Amino acid sequence: MLHLASGMGRLGTESAFEVLARAKALEAQGKSIISLSIGQPDFQTPGHIVEAAIKALKDGHHGYTPANGIPQVREAVAADLHRRHGVTVDPANVLIVPGGKVTMYFAIAMFGEPGAEIIYPNPGFPIYESAIKFTGATPVPLPLLEENGFGFKAEDVLSRITPKTRLIIINSPANPTGGICVKAEIDKLVAGLEKHPDVAIMSDEIYSEMLYDGNVHTSLLKYPQLADRLIVLDGWSKTYAMTGWRMGYSVWPKSLIEHATRLCINVHSCVNAAAQWAGIAALQGPRTEIDKMMKAFDERRKFVVAELNKLPGVSCITPLGAFYAFPNIKGTGFKSKALEVALLDEAGVASIAGTSFGSYGEGYLRISYANSIENIAEAMKRIGSFLAKRK
Ligand code: PLP
């Protein structure tokens, strides 16, 4: 018998990939499935970014790069952060990683161990809890409730800090709810953290360019008092429709960047060289296609929320960021997982149970509106007929 390390038994997963596989299997049997499950833009990466990767390959960028990324891409990231948030970041503190997830895992691995506590959003991106458990640390959920617009109050975070707390994870705009953190609460949180100087913070800002209705993202980089303990996760996947390129970046405190770079050297050496050149083109190139994509997401957001609210037993608050709606399905009489399974098998609509994002997700479903209005309309029709039959 093989003796697997105990952490393997604690490793969770991201249901989006499992639902995708089940949906593909049903499609292979000839069933029509509309996917509202996967968290990736349904747009192609803009052409000038693709061209930059092709050029990099033709120019001979085929070898390893420095583990932390080529200087040009780290400088481009620092310039972009200045453009977007008005902050000055030293390119030496920027790390290029194969996707935002890698930053997440590195930050959690750096602080997680048996006896340590890590506070994380629930419902939240499932890999936070999975990675925390894998390290043997104790996951401490920060409930994000519908009555608070799925945001948090500073006090909710501060009251969960104990002498064992090593890391706090926050995420705005948020997956799976589309909720955003209000600046006033972030101000209060940062002020309260002064009393806890030994606690690190990871701010997951992967959706920081996806806000609606005039809302503005508040990056934690704007708080210089956090500079010696703040890790910011961001990247190209969502903003530039580049999920398959595996390109992300993070900003680390001076005291941690060497540790983080060493993790890169141990795990993946460096990110694909051509993708790094494409990443520069993305940050420095025209934004017309990005603006078009955001306009389409905004139209779909309004449409899907209006349609969800017409369904029997369903209500949905308007998400202010990302490309997810998180309808309350308690009035349907279904538990989240049962509804996810029934909608896929019986209505041909792929969605994700709220519980896939943590225990506080019971009673909700995640709907990704990264799909055309026509497909979303058809999906809503199918869900409506399914629910009407079950009444
Ligand atoms: N953080 C959040 C909140 C996400 O939703 C995702 C992807 O869905 C990621 C990070 C990971 O992004 P990437 O595809 O760049 O690894």
Q: Has residue 52 been placed in a domain?
A: no
C-alpha 170 – ligand 1 centre gap (Å): 13
Ligand 1 centre to CA of 62 (Å) is 27
The answer on pLDDT for 391 being more than 80 is: no
- Give domain status of residue 54, yes or no: no
Q: How far is the CA of 207 from the centre of ligand 1 (A)?
A: 8
Q: Which domain holds residue 222?
A: 65-272
Among 19, 40, 101, the mutation site with the greatest number of ligand 1 atoms within 8 A of its Cβ is: 101
Tell me the three state secondary structure of residue 117.
Answer: strand
Residue 292 and residue 268 share a domain: no
197: domain CATH number is 3.40.640.10
- Residue 360 is predicted with a pLDDT of 97
Is residue 36 domain-shared with residue 90, that is, in the same domain? no
Q: What is the ipTM of this complex?
A: 0.99
215: number of Cβ within 10 Å: 13
Q: Of all atoms in ligand 1, which is nearest to the CA of residue 40?
A: 8
Residues 104-132 pLDDT 10s: 999 999 999 999 999 999 999 999 999 99
Q: How confident is the model over 281-307, as pLDDT tens digits? A: 999 999 999 999 999 999 999 999 999
Alpha helices in the chain (DSSP H): 15-28, 47-58, 71-85, 100-111, 126-135, 154-158, 183-193, 254-267, 273-284, 288-308, 336-342, 373-390
Same domain, 226 and 319: no
Half-sphere exposure of 186 (CA within 13 A, CB side): 21
The residue among 230, 245, 272 that closes a domain is: 272
Q: To the nearest 10°, the Cα dihedral for 97, 101, 107, 110?
A: -90
Whether residue 266 is found in the same domain as residue 179: yes
CATH number of the domain at 348, please: 3.90.1150.10
- How far is the C-alpha of 367 from the C-alpha of 214, rounded, in Å? 22
User: What's the confidence (pLDDT) of residue 386?
Assistant: 97
- Give, using CA atoms, the residue closest to atom 7 of ligand 1: 39
pLDDT of residue 144: 97
Q: Say which residues have a Cβ less than 8 Å from residue 335's Cβ, sequence separation at least 6.
A: 355, 362, 363
For residue 225 the two structure tokens come to 């008092």
Query: Residue 141 is which amino acid?
Result: P
CA of 98 to the centre of ligand 1 (A): 11
Average confidence (pLDDT) over 58-79: 98
- For a ligand 1 pocket test, name from 19, 106, 206 the mutation site with the most ligand atoms within 8 angstroms of its C-beta: 206
Cα-based angle 349, 352, 356 (whole degrees, multiple of 5): 160
d(CA 179, CA 346): 30
pLDDT tens across 7-55, in order? 999 999 888 888 999 999 999 999 999 999 988 999 999 999 999 999 9
Asked if residue 317 belongs to a domain, the reply is yes
Q: What is the pTM of this model?
A: 0.97
Question: In angstroms, what is the span from residue 127 Cα to ligand 1's centroid?
Answer: 9
Whether a cis peptide bond, with omega within 30° of 0, leads into 123 is: yes
The average pLDDT across 269-285 equals 98
CA 257, distance to chain mean position in Å, is: 22
The verdict on 212 and 69 lying in the same domain is: yes
Q: If you measure from the C-alpha of residue 73 to the centroid of ligand 1, how many angstroms do you get, rounded to a whole number?
A: 20
Same domain assignment for residues 296 and 259: no
The token pair at 281 is 């083109």
State pLDDT tens for residues 209-266.
999 999 999 999 999 999 999 999 999 999 999 999 999 999 999 999 999 999 999 9
From residue 26, give the alpha-carbon distance in Å to each of 15, 338, 347, 372, 382.
16, 17, 12, 21, 16
Cα 215 from Cα 206, distance rounded (Å): 16
Do 76 and 279 touch, CB atoms closer than 8 A?
yes
Q: Which residues have CB under 6 Å of ligand 1?
A: 39, 99-101, 125, 171, 175, 204, 206, 235, 237, 243, 248
DSSP letter for each residue of 203-260: EE-TTTT-B-TT-----GGG-GGGTTTEEEEEESTTTTT-GGG--EEEE--HHHHHHH
Same domain, 83 and 15: no
Residues 105 and 178 reside in one and the same domain: yes
Regarding whether 181 and 84 lie in a shared domain, the answer is yes
CB 321, CB 301: distance < 8 Å: no
Q: Which residues contact 29 (CB under 8 A, 6 or more apart)?
A: none
User: Per the domain annotation, does 58 fall within a domain?
Assistant: no
Report how far ligand 1's centroid is from the alpha carbon of 384 (Å).
Answer: 30
pLDDT in tens, 153-191: 999 999 999 999 999 999 999 999 999 999 999 999 999
Q: Please report the atom of ligand 1 found closest to the CA of residue 236.
A: 15
Instruction: For the sheet with 230-235, list strands across it.
Output: 94-97, 248-251, 230-235, 200-204, 165-171, 117-122, 138-143
91-101 residues labelled b (16+ CB within 10 A) or e (exposed): bebbbbbbbbb
User: Which pLDDT tens digit goes with each residue over 326-374?
Assistant: 999 999 999 999 999 999 999 999 999 999 999 999 999 999 999 999 9
* Nearest Cα to Cα of residue 170 among 140, 210, 138: 140
pLDDT at 250: 98
Residue 36 located in a structural domain: yes
Residue 233 contacts residue 105 (beta carbons within 8 Å): no
Per-position b or e across 329-356, b if 16+ CB within 10 A of its CB: beebebbbbebbebbbeebbbbbbbbbb
